[in-house]
Amino acid sequence: MGCRRAAKGVGDFLIETVGELVAEVILNLLACALLACLALIAYLSWSFSPRLTIAGAGLLSLFLAHGAWQTFRAPAKGRRRGLAAVTAGGFTLIAMTALFLLLYGTGCNCL
């Protein structure tokens, strides 16, 4: 009985370890693909029009600044509506993407 339990424990450990390794590889590949897509978008945008690229980056910065302000300020009475909800959601999404790239994109050896 003890031998079967030990074998089952070892098998469960191996399955969990292999599953974690596969998940880590998938997350690293996803981070590398996302980083490559962002670099390609920046390159194509700059080659199309440097002025529009800088203007777009400025508008994106304003969007993110407003979203950060809406996210971290003291909550107002009532719910967020309209532009405030969109910018707060956009800021949250981009902050989570940046955190994902910080955690998994640093292990990408494609750079």
28-87 pLDDT tens trace: 888 888 888 888 999 999 999 999 999 999 999 999 999 999 888 876 676 667 888 889
How far apart CA 49 and CA 52 sit, in angstroms, is 5
How far apart CA 63 and CA 97 sit, in angstroms, is 16
How far apart CA 76 and CA 89 sit, in angstroms, is 16
Number of domain units in the chain: 1
Residue 108 near residue 32, CB atoms below 8 Å = yes
pTM score over 0.75: no
The encoded tokens of residue 29 equal 């590949």
Domain extent for 49: 2-107
How far apart CA 35 and CA 41 sit, in angstroms, is 10
